[in-house]
Amino acid sequence: MVNGMFIDPKDCVVTLGGAVQPGDTVQYTDGGVTCEVTALDAIPVYHKMAVKAVPKGGRVIKYGELIGIASQDIVPGQHVHTHNIEEPERG
């Protein structure tokens, strides 16, 4: 089992404390509740993994801040990185 860092209730991703392979369990705490998600992808240490679904065009939130827009549907357990998020428009 690998621990994920979940900071803000708005977050849809965790930052992984260790590398994971498909089928590995990632555990994190959300508001005092321990949660688990099964990794769907091989994900390097310190990268992001989705813990909430984000539809294409949806906002990807980490540490309570917008970090990108989903360029495709993202499901819990997937690696979240440049292959499936785009820079948000700045205005």
Q: What is the CATH number of the domain that holds 46?
A: 2.30.130.110
* Residue for token pair 């849809």: 12
pLDDT at residue 14 above 70? yes
Domain enclosing residue 24, as ranges: 2-86
Q: Is 7 within the bounds of a domain?
A: yes
Q: Is residue 41 part of a domain?
A: yes
Domain count, the chain: 1
Dump pLDDT digits (tens) for 58-71. Answer: 999 999 999 999 99
pLDDT per residue as tens digits for the range 18-65: 999 999 999 999 999 999 999 999 999 999 999 999 999 999 999 999
Between the CA of residue 26 and those of 37, 44, 71, what are the distances in Å? 5, 13, 24
Residue 31, in any domain of the structure: yes
pTM value > 0.85 = yes
pLDDT reading at 90 higher than 80:
no
Q: Is residue 16 part of a domain?
A: yes
pLDDT of residue 91: 62
Token digits for 17?
């404390």
